[in-house]
Amino acid sequence: MSDLLLLGLIGGLTLLLLLTLLAFAGYSGLLAGVAVSAGSPPILNITVAYKFHMGPYGETGRLFTESCSISPKLRSIAVYYDNPHMVPPDKCRCAVGSILSEGEESPSPELIDLYQKFGFKVFSFPAPSHVVTATFPYTTILSIWLATRRVHPALDTYIKERKLCAHPRLEIYQQDQIHFMCPLARQGDFYVPEVKETERKWRGLAEAVDAQVDGTGADTMSDTSSVSLEVSPGSRETSVATLSPGASSRGWDDGDTRSEHSYSESGASGSSFEELDLEGEGRLGEPQLDPETEPLGITKWPWEPSTPEKGKE
């Protein structure tokens, strides 16, 4: 009888534990709906203190912790530029930090000096007229893990189906919600200087490689010119494609300032927000930057989440 009682007690405790875990997951947002829409941004123009990170996104937790420890009441922000599914982890780039001020308010010099003392840089983001946006509950640390696995796939689907040019991806941790935002205009203004610098370096390296390939290809054509003259007319196109250096590979096209895995290429045709049925109110007609003039990016989603500390205002 005592054995049955013990088994019953163990079973009851196990059931209670499972119910507690389910309740915790539900409170964290497990059952929350994810609604993606195009409309007005959830924030105005902002000034941020940030640190640039190039490496696995899972290693950014320390940056969230560091920025929150300096001023716990400020909102945390992260800007992700690359797709960890298509980019090597050590090449993924992001900026993580805190929002110092919003709108017409200016950050205090003391606050700027405090963040700069710990190695943070200061940068300003504009308020684009329209964005692709979504929200998710931010009640526990588990909320972050759930958000990265539910919201980003929904954003991917929304952007791909409408063939939008929406990049980069911002996450704003504000009180009890996480705001996800992908600008549909002025995208270039959301690229911090370090991102543009890495793009210039990579572009220079690619051009140097192309130059070497062009030189090698010229020598190859010279050596095989007698062979190409003997090719029959019916196979002329094939011979030209074979002998032309780089004909079968994607190089750095003139005017293309994006890498192969940029978020700016997440939409096939880069439709502007003017073609959308916008749900939020805002001034239409603001010109969208030409995707080909945007800074280079690489691509993203979903990734192994970092763990920013929750800082309430």
CATH of the domain at 138: 3.20.80.10
Which pLDDT tens digit goes with each residue over 280-297?
444 333 434 443 344 444
The pLDDT of residue 154 is 92
171 in any annotated domain: yes
Q: Report the chain's mean pLDDT, rounded to a whole number.
A: 74
Which pLDDT tens digit goes with each residue over 295-308?
444 444 444 444 45
122 in any annotated domain: yes
Sheet with 177-183, strands from edge to edge, namely 37-39, 131-137, 177-183, 169-174, 76-80, 93-102, 46-54, 121-125
The pLDDT of residue 10 is 86
**Range(s) of the domain holding residue 158:** 34-195
**What average pLDDT does this structure show over 25-32?**
82
The pLDDT of residue 270 is 53
Which pLDDT tens digit goes with each residue over 79-129?
999 988 888 988 999 999 999 999 988 899 999 999 999 999 999 999 988
SS3 (DSSP) at 102: strand
89 in any annotated domain: yes
Measured in residues, the chain has a length of 313
CA dist 106 and 122 (Å) reads: 12
Residue 312 has pLDDT above 50, yes or no: no
Which pLDDT tens digit goes with each residue over 115-135?
999 999 999 999 988 999 999
Cross-strand partners of 180 = 134, 171
Which one is predicted more confidently, 45 or 219? 45
End-to-end CA distance of the chain: 56
SS3 (DSSP) at 82: strand
Residue 260 has pLDDT above 80, yes or no: no
CA dist 129 and 147 (Å) reads: 25
Of the listed ranges 11-20, 160-169, 181-190, 223-232, the one predicted with least confidence: 223-232
253 in any annotated domain: no
The pLDDT of residue 310 is 47
246 in any annotated domain: no
CA dist 8 and 51 (Å) reads: 54
Number of domains composing the chain? 1
One-letter amino acid for residue 313 of the chain: E
Is the pTM for the entire model greater than 0.95? no
**Residue 1 — very low, low, confident or very high, per pLDDT cuts 50/70/90?**
low
174 in any annotated domain: yes
One-letter amino acid for residue 155 of the chain: L
Residue 274 has pLDDT above 80, yes or no: no
CA dist 272 and 258 (Å) reads: 18
187 in any annotated domain: yes
Eight-class DSSP state of 274: G
Tokens of 193: 């200087």
The pLDDT of residue 285 is 37
By C-alpha distance, which of 41, 167, 164, 44 is closest to 106? 44
Give the ranges where the chain is alpha helix by DSSP (H).
Answer: 2-28, 61-70, 109-117, 141-162, 193-223, 225-229, 236-243
176 in any annotated domain: yes
